[in-house]
Structure 1
Amino acid sequence: MGLQKYVSDIKTIEQNHEIVYNYLSNFENLSTYVNDGLLAKMNESVPQIKVTDFESDSDSCRFNISGMGQAEIRIIDREPHKTIKINSSGNLPVGITFWIQLLPVDAYQSKIKLTLHAEMSMMIKMMVNKKLEEGINQLADMLTKLPYA
């Protein structure tokens, strides 16, 4: 198993950093958004992996991955209005630690950067490395478009 690091470009969100932090630090806010279209887009773009049965509470998200079973991601640390740290558990073939970092620009604008550390075998890395490199920026772009208000 080897550790890989993926870092997004710094993106801008047209919203106050405290509002963005409060929204992203509660996984219940993501449940409707994920179930109302994001899962379908993910399953369409990566048809080899089907994600279903997404559910969440304030600290964790659980979902099923075809052929692998139930997986979970959990918020393990919050630094108010700055950082959200997330860890994986369950039946994922990749162990992840994920940071969402926020920085205020002004009262109505924030910067966001995502960092993903993935523990995976060389075989899995060969299969998903390019997708993760692209996906970290796609996820950052998606987070700039969430309905924070």
Structure 2
Amino acid sequence: MVQFESSVKHVPYTQERVYTKLADLNNLASVRERLDELKSKFPGKVEDLSFDQDSLTLKVQGISLTLRIIEREPMKCIKFEGDRTPLPMNLWIQVLPVSDAEAKMKVTIRAEVNAFMKAMVSKPLQEGVEKLADILALIPY
């Protein structure tokens, strides 16, 4: 089991607004509309994105990943589990208040990989968790 954490991202919105938007993935329609913009900011990374209330499927460098929400801890954390992923994994988004008008978030991925695979997947997973946090920090909540 290996774990990768993004750096802490500050967002200029309240903890409640950030959590509420992310807890129902249908609220990410605005992100879907800006997919072309994301593709240009992260070339060769995000190719496609689709979602419903509880799951998110993204295609990254030819690999399709589906993450499903398995737990919501109101205002604090949303936990996902890999549904159709190349390796067993969990992802969670933590949201904490900084002030009345600002929150901070961190994305964590925990994946089951053997020692041989660890060398191959460590860099892409660390980059992926950081890029996901960057994208989440850019969302207008």
The one-letter code matched in structure 1 to 2:95 is L
Task: Work out whether 1:86 is the aligned partner of 2:61.
Answer: no
Alignment correspondent of 1:59: 54
Distance change in 2, residues 1:62/1:45 (3 Å):
closer
Per-residue deviation, 1:63: 4.8
- Kindly state the Cα deviation for residue 7 of structure 1 after the two structures are TM-superposed: 1.1
Task: In structure 1, list runs of 5 or more residues that go unmatched.
Answer: none
Q: 1:95 to 1:138 in 2, by over 3 A?
A: same
Q: Which amino acid aligns with 2:18?
A: V
Q: Quick one: structure 1 residues 104 and 28, their matched pair in 2 at CA, closer, same or farther if it must change by over 3 Å?
A: same
What is the correspondence of 1:1-149 to structure 2 with a 5 Å cutoff? 3-34=1-32, 36-37=34-35, 40-41=39-40, 44-46=43-45, 51-52=47-48, 54-63=49-58, 71-90=65-84, 92-148=85-141
Name the CA shift for 1:51/1:7 in 2 (closer, same or farther; >3 Å).
Answer: same
The alpha-carbon deviation at position 113 of structure 1 amounts to 1.4
CA displacement at 1:44 relative to structure 2: 3.1
Provide the secondary structure at the position in 2 that maps to 1:106. Answer: coil
CA distance in 1, matches of 2:132, 2:65: 19
Query: Deviation digits for residues 87-144 of structure 1, max 9, x if unmatched?
Result: 1112x21221011111111110011111110123445433331122233222222211
Q: Please, what is the CA RMSD of the aligned residues? A: 2.6
- 1:67: how far off? 6.8
Q: What is the TM-score normalised by the length of structure 2?
A: 0.81
